[in-house]
Amino acid sequence: MAAPAISTLVILGAGGDLTSRLLLPGLASLLASTRGSDIRLIGVDRDPMTDAAWKRRVTKAFSAVDGRRIESVIESSSYLQADVTDPAALERVLAAATGRTALYFALPPAVTVLACRTLAGVDLPAGIVLAVEKPFGTDLKSATALNRLLQRLVPEEQVFRVDHFLGKSTVINLLGLRFANRIFEPLLSAQNVAHVEINIEEDLGLEGRAGYYDKAGALIDMIQSHLLLVLALATMEPPATVASEDLRGAMAQLLRATRSWKKDGTESRRARYTAGTIGRRKLPAYTSEAGVDRTRGTETLAEMTVAIDNWRWAGVPFVLRSGKAIGEPRQEVVFTFRDVPHLPTGFSGPSRQAQLRIGIKPATMSLDLVTNGFEDPFDLECDTLDANFRPSELSAYGEVLAELLEGDPTLSVRGDIAEECWRIVAPVLAAWRADRVPLDSYPAGTRGPRSWR
Ligand code: BG6
C-alpha cells in the first residue's frame, strides 16, 4: 500500500540561502503544477522572525507563480524560532506539525549531523520523512556514520537524500530514451562504444558561496554526487520497474562495479580559474573571491576517469568533467562509437568517430550518421540527427519535492549509493591531498587549461 502523502513540510534552516534560492521556488513550481496539493509549511531557524516576515519571504520566493493553492500555502505557513541542537525545541517544532511530516534539513552538513543527533533523543511521529541535502557527509567515513545515525532514527524508505540532478527531466529522460526505444540500448556497450564523456560545465563562478565551496571544490560539489548519478542512469542495466527499489538497486549495482581508472587516482586532472571575462561579465580570479583560502588549493574544474568492471562496459573509459567559469559550457553525456569492424575498401573518412550526444542543458539529443559525401560520394562525412526534448512542467527541485511530498523515495539517493559515490572518488581525493596531481589554471571564460586540449 502506498504511504500517505506528506501534510506538513518543516524547513530547518528557513532563513538560509538554499531555502530562498532553491527550495521555496521549487515548491512554488510544484504547487502551481498539476501535481501540487495543499501543504502546511513551517519555517524554522535560530533567529527570531515574525510570521508576517516569514510569509513575506515565502511570497517573494513564490513570486514567479500565483494561484489559489499558492495563496493558501502562504496564508497557513508559520515560523518557529528554534535551536536544532536542543531536543525540547525540536519537540516543540514537531508538535506544531499536523499529519504526516517531512523535516527538511536545509542546513550546513555539520549542523545537519548535530540536528540528527538531537533527534535521537526525541520521540519521532510515525511516518516522518527526513530530507537531507547534499553534500551527504564529507568523505566515505562520515557518510557511513551519518547513514548509521539516520538508520537509528527512521527506516531507509523514510530518508530522502536530496540530489536535484535526479529531478532534472533531462536526466530522468536518460531512462526513457534508453529503455523505451529499441534503437539505442543494444548499441550501448563496450562492443560498440569506444569512450564516454559526461561534462557538466557552468559559466557561473563562485557566486558568494566560498564558505561551502572552498572546502568542497568541483570534485566533491559535482562529480561525487551529480555526475556519478548521471553515470549510473546512463549505463546501468534495465530495471524491471522504475519503482524505488528496482531503480535504485540497478543504480547501486552499477556504482559498485565502478572504480577510478588508475588505482591511485593519478589519471585525474584539476584546475582553478584565474581572472577572465564571460560574455560581458568580468570574473575575478577564484583566489581573489571573498572567503577563499588560497592555500587550500581548491579546484574549480575537476576531471576523473572511471572504469565499470562488468560485462557490458569492461575496458571503456568514462571521463567525468565538471567546472565553473567555463566559456561556452556544455552539459551532456557523449557516447563515442567505435569504428565499424570493416569499412569497405574504396571509402574514405569520415574525419571523426560518430557520437550520440544527450544534452542535459539544453535538453537535446543528437546522433551522428556517417553518410556519403557531397562532392565525392565515397568520401564519407558525418551528418547529424537532432532532437529537442520537451521541457518539464516542474523545475528539478520541484520534481524532487513532488516525490518527497508524495512519500515516494524513488528520486532519493539511497544510503548505499551515497557511500559508493564517496568510495569511487576517494583515490582521487587522496592523490590531490598528497599533491600527486598538479593544480593547473585557466582564465575564466575559456574551455579550461590550454594543456588539457
Ligand atoms: C549544485 C552545486 O548542487 O548544483 C552548484 O552545489 C552548482 O555548485 C549546481 O552550480 C548546478 O545545478 P544547476 O541545476 O544549476 O545546473
320 in the same domain as 261: yes
Interval between CA 202 and ligand 1 midpoint (Å): 9
Q: How much helix, strand and coil, in percent to the nearest 5, is found in the chain?
A: 40, 25, 40
Could you list the beta-strand ranges (E) of 179-285: 193-201, 258-260, 269-274, 276-278, 281-283
Give the tens place of pLDDT for each residue, 95-112. Answer: 999 999 999 999 988 999
124-147 pLDDT tens trace: 999 999 999 988 999 999 999 999
* Average pLDDT, integer, range 304-330: 98
- Tell me if 301 is assigned to some domain: yes
The residue nearest atom 5 of ligand 1, judged by CA position, is 221
Q: Which three cell numbers stand for residue 304?
A: 576523473
Domain span holding position 70: 8-133
**CA–centroid distance, residue 180 to ligand 1 (Å):** 29
Q: Which ligand 1 atom is at minimum distance from the Cα of 221?
A: 6
Clarify whether residues 66 and 210 are in a common domain: no
Gap from CA of 428 to ligand 1 centroid (Å): 21
What is residue 91's predicted lDDT score, i.e. its pLDDT? 97
Say if residue 117 is in the same domain as residue 222: no
Is 339 found in the same domain as 249? Answer: yes
| Sequence-ordered list of residues with C-beta below 8 angstroms from that of 237, at least 6 positions apart, any chain | 250, 253, 254, 312
Q: Is residue 25 part of a domain?
A: yes
Domain assignment present for residue 38? The answer is yes
The answer on 248 and 103 residing in a single domain is: no
* pLDDT tens profile 411-430: 999 999 999 999 999 999 99
Q: Is the pLDDT of residue 1 over 60?
A: no
Instruction: Using the atom order of ligand 1, give the atom closest to the CA of residue 168.
Output: 14
pLDDT of the residue at 193: 98
Which residues line the pocket of ligand 1, CB cutoff 6 A? 164, 202, 204, 221, 396
Q: Is the pLDDT of residue 12 over 80?
A: yes
- In this structure, what CATH number is given to the domain that contains residue 44? 3.40.50.720
CA of 135 to the centre of ligand 1 (A): 12
Same domain? For 253 and 296 the reply is: yes
Instruction: Please name the amino acid found at residue 53.
Output: A
Q: Which residues are CB-neighbours of 56 under 8 A, at least 6 positions away? A: none
Which of 115, 133, 151 marks a domain boundary? 133
Domain boundary among 80, 111, 133: 133
CB 61, CB 76: distance < 8 Å: no
Q: Ligand 1 pocket test: which of 200, 226, 229 has the largest number of ligand atoms within 8 Å of its C-beta?
A: 226
Are 231 and 299 in the same domain?
A: yes
pTM, full prediction: 0.96
Is there a domain that residue 292 lies in?
yes
Q: In the predicted model, what is the mean pLDDT of residues 171-177?
A: 93
Residue in 324, 259, 319, 246 with CA at minimum distance from that of residue 285: 324
Residue 90 CA to ligand 1 centre (angstroms): 30
Helix 169-179, helix 396-405: angle, nearest 10 = 80
**What per-residue confidence (pLDDT) applies to 2?**
63
Same domain, 129 and 209: no
Give the CATH number of the domain where residue 192 resides.
3.30.360.10
The pLDDT tens digits of the residues spanning 210-258 come to 999 999 999 999 999 999 999 999 999 999 999 999 999 999 999 999 9
Question: Atom 15 in ligand 1: which residue has the minimum CA distance?
Answer: 202
Distance CA 154, CA 397 (A): 23
DSSP type of residue 146: H
Residue 209 CA: which ligand 1 atom is closest? 8
Query: What number is the average pLDDT over the span 349-365?
Result: 93
Task: Output the pLDDT for position 195.
Answer: 98
Q: Please count the other Cβ atoms lying within 10 Å of the Cβ belonging to residue 249.
A: 18
Neighbours of 415 (CB within 10 A): 21
Name the residue of 204, 221, 273 whose CB sits within 8 Å of the most ligand 1 atoms, as the mutation to test its pocket.
221
Report the percent of the chain where pLDDT is more than 90. 90
Is residue 415 within 8 A of residue 149, CB to CB? The reply is no
User: How many distinct structural domains can be found in the chain?
Assistant: 2
- The pLDDT assigned to 283 comes to 96
Per-residue pLDDT band at 47 (split at 50, 70, 90): very high
Q: Which atom of ligand 1 is nearest to the CA of 163?
A: 3
Task: Judge whether 195 counts as a catalytic residue.
Answer: no
> Does the pLDDT at position 83 exceed 80?
yes
Ligand 1, residues 166, 169, 202: which to mutate, most atoms within 8 A of Cβ?
202
Looking at the structure, tell me whether residues 373 and 253 fall in a common domain.
Answer: yes
Q: Render pLDDT for 50-73 as a digit per residue (tens, 0 to 9).
A: 999 999 999 999 988 888 889 999
